A and B are shown apart, each in its own frame.
Chain A
Amino acid sequence: MSKAEGNLLKAAPFDEPVHLAPRGNSSYNPLHTFELPKGGERQYAHQFADMYFLRLAQLKPVLEEQAEELWKDFELAGEKARRVDRVLDVRQGELCWVIGTVYMELSMKPNILDDLTKEHWIAAPPAREKYISSTGLDEMMLEDESGRLRITGETISRQSFVTGCIIAALGTEQADGSFNIIATQSADLPRQPQRWERDDSEQAVESGNVTSKRKTSGKVAIVSGLEITGTAEDDVSLDLLMEYLTCEAAGPPTQTATGKISRLILAGNSLSHSSPIPTREEYASRKIESTRKHYGYDASVYNATPAERLDQFLADVLPHLPITLLPGPSDPANVAIPQQALHPALFPLSRQYSSPPLQSNESREGLDSVTNPWEGDIEGWRVLGTGGQTVDDLLKYVEEGDALDVMDAMLRWRCIAPTAPDTLWCYPFQDDDPLLLHECPHIYFCGNQPKFGSRVIQGPADQKVLLLSIPKFSETKTVVLVDMETMKVETVRFEVVPPGT
């Protein structure tokens, strides 16, 4: 039933311990796309309008080109489609196409005024799963700097759009002033870099020649949502995960297989309930609990156990495996995307494996605490990952579809957080919006999803992107492994059988 070498149910004499072949190097070259300026240069006073302006300005040329190609010969009832520069230039009854930003007027979308009314209610309404309502009162608009068009048409009901995405729309203006669309076009996937492109160019600049010989790449393990609470419940599965990753658990065949893993990515929510801004409910319950006034440091306000447990976990794994750590919505980082790297002060033990912050803002070996979203090159492939907020927020706009669908859509819109800053907290970017996709990743993962999923999508220029939705470890106990040579995906599931089942 079981392989002989994997069976360690053997009595004395014991086998001579065999050391596994050492782990391969993880070729790792992070980008710092989402790092915000430090200190006083980080300005929150700016208006968000600039982000929409930038988005439209940057994506308009691309869309123009694509729409031109697609619709230049488009004829409907003998009428040729004409390009219109601004949405206000659309004339009634004329077949034309125009480029603009989508705005969704959704009846259930959070409103700042709702927060005010909440204060006066005894019981707040439950948190919304979706912004869309079933009554069909939702409206879609297309806007640019000149004005707005109300959009109607069958394509809306079939396709899903969200606030903030830039599209080109082909249609005619109706008598009632609405724009009836026949077809839409998104910017689609941008250029995809070649594998090793960045590493090669860096190497060429440094040493003048490019080594074409590279070792076979290993696997990358992606885990999200450890959601360490510091209680005993999550300890055993966390221990199993640690022992699995360090190749201590299981027998030699499994250990050899695990030894192929060359990097661990923690995709957000490593701690649970550690966001610096408590939810309304948490805040209320906390207030009730601590009616007694404390002076000085109040230990009940901050519980260090989860952070210590995470630090211990990282410190146990790090001698064997380099880690990239992304913050998530429940982690003690800033709440607006892009979330900045978790502060090393949280990790007194494991930060010894990262470069000193004054020396370098990245650690290619050891612990690299990075931003969310994050992008970088692993084994030559461009990898883009988020902690999941962007996808979760997008899913509230659409009726059906899972994480992979909206991730696909995001890449095609070339914006990895279209709903920011509308319904997603976001830093007010001024001069450049890093949330726009300039280069197409090879792997795009998104953490903290209810279930695992993987899909390969293709772009117009033969780009291939592996989409991964990483389930929460706390709920599914699942680790996702990606073979960086073949792009094959597999999962490892941990299970602790409860007694008496």
Chain B
Amino acid sequence: MTDDYKNYLAAAVLTDGKIVSYRLLSRALKVNVNTAKQMLYDFYSKQNAKKPKSVHATYLLTGTQQPESPSRTNGTHRQDGEDSFMQSSPFPSSMPEPMESELAEDPVPVTYVVLVREEELDKKRAEFMEITSIHIYSLEPGPIENMNMLAVCNQEITKSYSNDDPLERWKIYGGIQNPYIKRRTARYAPLLSKTASGEAPKDAAPKATARKILEASSKQKEKNSVPSRRGSVSEDTKPGKSMQQPSSSNTAAKKPTLKKEKSDIFSSFAKAKAKPKAAEESKDSTPAQTEDEMAGMSEDEADADDTPEVRFDAEKAAEARKAREAREAKLRQMMEDDEDEPMEDAPPVTEEDSQDAPLDKEASKPVEKETVTVQGGRRRGRRRVMKKKTVKDEDGYLVTKEEAVWESFSEEDPEPKRPKPAPKSSTAKGKKGTGTGKYGQGSIASFFKKA
């Protein structure tokens, strides 16, 4: 085990003439990156002790460099009020500040991360004021002429070593853990299929790919139960944003995915009872699949109704609260200012404030006094709109004013997606029950119409 790295490095660097970076070594041997960096050095020093110049190295230096200009001298002592361009000038920093003074920042500390070949190492090292860390970045059989060659290591990692769960990588390889990141379980994971096909020999049966996907998805499922992932909103619903599934993996992966879909439907059911859509669609000949594909295609129209309800409410509530405060302040001021003002104007004005969006988008809010009746798929009612009005004033000028006026309107129900209730599902909300006859068929068309 302990000599694994020697064998690997000897084979890769000396025999195959490959470039091996610390990352590649850590992936290949499943060791921590910091250990891999030391392994590289160990191999490098021992090998070159045996036979000088047999292995070549590149280094990664981190630290602060000698300041290039005098203005960078005291990077650590920074105070507001000192101008970076005035460093050498005799202006005192306690200069009285005018109202609109611009406080220029002092020189900003710069950390350098430098990748260098061993030939230039000493020269580069001398430029550093302090080196916080240094390690071997890669080993190669001879001096490399083009630093871009080093990129092949990470390409190889992407190609061959990215089958594991990215959220668990830190345990093996080091790097920092971020416990807050969540990853959706995508049914169509391009990473898996891509790397699997890249890894497997060309004549390998599609079964192999399928098995990989199977394994992967079962792995994913196991992970779902791991408490640290906090199974929450992003876990369960609609994992598939995929436009299409490759047909080969589609058939093979059907078994695990079907299982998943089931839970998807249930969870979305449990969460949002308000959407009879899910229930209805599950009765179609292609259950849930269509919905998922729709979910993928309709990125553009994820409207406000689809956001989690809790947060939506909170936002609205905060808005409403702000509006209420503003209204109160306005009212108070009006009382003080002039009493001749007709009072009935006040409330509608503030209502206007409470909603940023144009009112015709969602006309039926309980707070407003607007009346909306829904009849046979059409909505009628009165609403307030801002109208621009151009009038001639006493001097003969044209004056444009923005005025709130009431207007009655009548329009097609703008939500064709929701008001198609399943025959069985209860039409609890009267508004939604109206469109029954109209939207029975041609659901695809009406779906796109909404956009």
Binding site for B on A (CB under 8 A): 1-3, 6-12, 14-15, 17-20, 22-23, 25-26, 38-41, 50, 53, 57, 86, 88, 145-146, 198, 201-202, 205-206, 232-233, 235-236, 239-240, 242-244, 246-255, 257-259, 312, 315, 318-322, 343-345, 348-349, 351-361, 363, 365-366, 408, 431-432, 452, 454-458, 460, 488-501
In whole angstroms, how far apart are the Cα atoms of A352 and B170 in the complex? 18
Nearest CB in chain A to that of B300: its residue: A38
List the B side residues contacting A431 at CB < 8 Å: 358, 386
Stretch with Cβ within 8 A of A (4 or more), from B10-18, B236-244, B419-427: B236-244
List the A side residues contacting B158 at CB < 8 Å: 312
The answer to whether B180 touches A253, judged by C-beta atoms less than 8 angstroms apart, is no
Q: B178 on the interface (CB 8 Å rule)? A: yes
Given contacts A38-B451, A320-B170, A456-B103, contact A247 B135 (CB under 8 A): no
List the B side residues contacting A206 at CB < 8 Å: 310, 314
The answer to whether A38 touches B117, judged by C-beta atoms less than 8 angstroms apart, is no
Partner of A408 from the list B102, B119, B175 (CB cut-off 8 Å) is B102
List the B side residues contacting A493 at CB < 8 Å: 110-113
Stretch with Cβ within 8 A of A (4 or more), from B140-148, B245-253, B337-345, B364-372: B140-148
> Assuming A3-B131, A356-B295, what are 18 further A-B pairs, CB within 8 angstroms?
A3-B132, A9-B136, A10-B42, A23-B178, A40-B451, A145-B398, A235-B148, A236-B148, A247-B175, A251-B37, A344-B241, A356-B184, A358-B306, A366-B183, A456-B105, A458-B102, A489-B105, A493-B111
The answer to whether B182 touches A366, judged by C-beta atoms less than 8 angstroms apart, is yes
The 20 listed contacts between A and B (C-beta, < 8 Å) are: A10-B42, A17-B174, A20-B174, A146-B398, A198-B318, A235-B154, A239-B154, A243-B23, A319-B166, A352-B184, A356-B295, A358-B298, A359-B308, A365-B180, A458-B97, A490-B110, A492-B110, A494-B112, A497-B124, A498-B147
Partner of B108 from the list A233, A236, A259, A489 (CB cut-off 8 Å) is A489
Give residues 160-182 of B contacting A (CB, 8 Å).
166-167, 169-171, 173-182
List the A side residues contacting B119 at CB < 8 Å: 499-500
Q: Which 5 A-B pairs have the closest CB atoms?
A: A251-B133, A6-B133, A17-B32, A235-B151, A8-B135
In whole angstroms, how far apart are the Cα atoms of A494 and B116 in the complex? 11
In whole angstroms, how far apart are the Cα atoms of A493 and B166 in the complex? 27
Nearest CB in chain A to that of B234: its residue: A355
Taking the closest CB of chain A, its distance from the CB of B293, in whole angstroms, is 12
The answer to whether B176 touches A259, judged by C-beta atoms less than 8 angstroms apart, is yes
Q: Mark B119-153, 1 if CB is under 8 A from A, else 0.
A: 11000110010111111110000011111101100
Taking the closest CB of chain B, its distance from the CB of A151, in whole angstroms, is 21
The answer to whether B103 touches A319, judged by C-beta atoms less than 8 angstroms apart, is no
In whole angstroms, how far apart are the Cα atoms of A323 and B171 in the complex? 22
With a 10 A CB-CB cut-off, give which of B171, B186, B241, B314 has the most chain A CB atoms: B241
List the A side residues contacting B116 at CB < 8 Å: 497
Nearest CB in chain B to that of A12: its residue: B42
The answer to whether A248 touches B174, judged by C-beta atoms less than 8 angstroms apart, is yes
Given contacts A38-B301, A202-B318, A456-B103, contact A145 B399 (CB under 8 A): yes
The answer to whether B176 touches A255, judged by C-beta atoms less than 8 angstroms apart, is yes
Given contacts A20-B177, A456-B103, A456-B105, contact A201 B321 (CB under 8 A): yes
The answer to whether B148 touches A253, judged by C-beta atoms less than 8 angstroms apart, is no
List the A side residues contacting B182 at CB < 8 Å: 353, 365-366
Taking the closest CB of chain B, its distance from the CB of A255, in whole angstroms, is 7
The answer to whether B173 touches A248, judged by C-beta atoms less than 8 angstroms apart, is yes
In whole angstroms, how far apart are the Cα atoms of A457 and B97 in the complex? 12
The answer to whether A23 touches B105, judged by C-beta atoms less than 8 angstroms apart, is no
Taking the closest CB of chain A, its distance from the CB of B358, in whole angstroms, is 6
Taking the closest CB of chain A, its distance from the CB of B39, in whole angstroms, is 7
The answer to whether B175 touches A320, judged by C-beta atoms less than 8 angstroms apart, is yes
In whole angstroms, how far apart are the Cα atoms of A244 and B109 in the complex? 17
The answer to whether B301 touches A39, judged by C-beta atoms less than 8 angstroms apart, is yes
In whole angstroms, how far apart are the Cα atoms of A252 and B303 in the complex? 45
Taking the closest CB of chain B, its distance from the CB of A470, in whole angstroms, is 12
Taking the closest CB of chain B, its distance from the CB of A22, in whole angstroms, is 4
Q: Is the interface of B mostly helix, strand, loop or mixed?
A: mixed
Taking the closest CB of chain B, its distance from the CB of A456, in whole angstroms, is 4
Taking the closest CB of chain B, its distance from the CB of A479, in whole angstroms, is 9
The answer to whether A6 touches B132, judged by C-beta atoms less than 8 angstroms apart, is yes
List the A side residues contacting B226 at CB < 8 Å: none
Taking the closest CB of chain A, its distance from the CB of B219, in whole angstroms, is 14
Partner of B307 from the list A20, A360, A501 (CB cut-off 8 Å) is A360
Partner of A6 from the list B31, B38, B134, B175 (CB cut-off 8 Å) is B134
The answer to whether A3 touches B180, judged by C-beta atoms less than 8 angstroms apart, is no
In whole angstroms, how far apart are the Cα atoms of A252 and B100 in the complex? 44
Partner of B147 from the list A7, A20, A236 (CB cut-off 8 Å) is A236
Taking the closest CB of chain B, its distance from the CB of A220, in whole angstroms, is 14
Interface size counted on chain B using CB atoms at 8 A: 118
Nearest CB in chain A to that of B307: its residue: A360
In whole angstroms, how far apart are the Cα atoms of A355 and B302 in the complex? 11
In whole angstroms, how far apart are the Cα atoms of A495 and B178 in the complex? 27
The answer to whether A201 touches B318, judged by C-beta atoms less than 8 angstroms apart, is yes
The answer to whether A490 touches B108, judged by C-beta atoms less than 8 angstroms apart, is yes
The answer to whether A258 touches B176, judged by C-beta atoms less than 8 angstroms apart, is yes
Nearest CB in chain B to that of A2: its residue: B131
The answer to whether B115 touches A495, judged by C-beta atoms less than 8 angstroms apart, is yes
The answer to whether A352 touches B189, judged by C-beta atoms less than 8 angstroms apart, is yes
The answer to whether B34 touches A251, judged by C-beta atoms less than 8 angstroms apart, is yes
Give residues 274-313 of B contacting A (CB, 8 Å).
295, 298-303, 306-308, 310-311
List the B side residues contacting A354 at CB < 8 Å: 184
In whole angstroms, how far apart are the Cα atoms of A319 and B119 in the complex? 35
In whole angstroms, how far apart are the Cα atoms of A250 and B59 in the complex? 10
In whole angstroms, how far apart are the Cα atoms of A358 and B60 in the complex? 44
Given contacts A320-B170, A492-B113, contact A2 B176 (CB under 8 A): no
Q: Mark B369-400, 1 if CB is under 8 A from A, else 0.
A: 00000000000000000101000000001111
Partner of B150 from the list A202, A239, A248, A456 (CB cut-off 8 Å) is A239
Nearest CB in chain B to that of A147: its residue: B397
Q: Mark B65-83, 1 if CB is under 8 A from A, else 0.
A: 0000000000000101000
In whole angstroms, how far apart are the Cα atoms of A232 and B136 in the complex? 22
Q: B41 on the interface (CB 8 Å rule)? A: yes
Given contacts A17-B32, A247-B175, contact A8 B37 (CB under 8 A): yes
Taking the closest CB of chain A, its distance from the CB of B189, in whole angstroms, is 7
Partner of B101 from the list A41, A357, A458, A498 (CB cut-off 8 Å) is A458
Taking the closest CB of chain B, its distance from the CB of A252, in whole angstroms, is 7
Nearest CB in chain B to that of A490: its residue: B109
Partner of B299 from the list A20, A343, A366 (CB cut-off 8 Å) is A343
The answer to whether B181 touches A495, judged by C-beta atoms less than 8 angstroms apart, is no
The answer to whether A349 touches B190, judged by C-beta atoms less than 8 angstroms apart, is yes
Taking the closest CB of chain B, its distance from the CB of A472, in whole angstroms, is 16
Taking the closest CB of chain B, its distance from the CB of A9, in whole angstroms, is 5
The answer to whether B133 touches A57, judged by C-beta atoms less than 8 angstroms apart, is no
Taking the closest CB of chain A, its distance from the CB of B369, in whole angstroms, is 20
List the A side residues contacting B2 at CB < 8 Å: 12
The answer to whether A359 touches B234, judged by C-beta atoms less than 8 angstroms apart, is yes
Given contacts A8-B38, A357-B299, contact A452 B178 (CB under 8 A): no
In whole angstroms, how far apart are the Cα atoms of A248 and B37 in the complex? 10
List the B side residues contacting A247 at CB < 8 Å: 174-176
Taking the closest CB of chain B, its distance from the CB of A403, in whole angstroms, is 14
Partner of A365 from the list B105, B154, B181, B311 (CB cut-off 8 Å) is B181
The answer to whether A239 touches B181, judged by C-beta atoms less than 8 angstroms apart, is no
Taking the closest CB of chain B, its distance from the CB of A427, in whole angstroms, is 15
The answer to whether B166 touches A53, judged by C-beta atoms less than 8 angstroms apart, is no
The answer to whether B243 touches A345, judged by C-beta atoms less than 8 angstroms apart, is yes
In whole angstroms, how far apart are the Cα atoms of A247 and B62 in the complex? 12
In whole angstroms, how far apart are the Cα atoms of A242 and B155 in the complex? 13
With a 10 A CB-CB cut-off, give which of A315, A457, A492, A496 has the most chain B CB atoms: A496
Taking the closest CB of chain A, its distance from the CB of B230, in whole angstroms, is 10
Given contacts A205-B321, A458-B103, A489-B108, contact A254 B181 (CB under 8 A): no
Q: B405 on the interface (CB 8 Å rule)? A: no
Q: B35 on the interface (CB 8 Å rule)? A: yes
Q: B335 on the interface (CB 8 Å rule)? A: no
Nearest CB in chain A to that of B306: its residue: A358
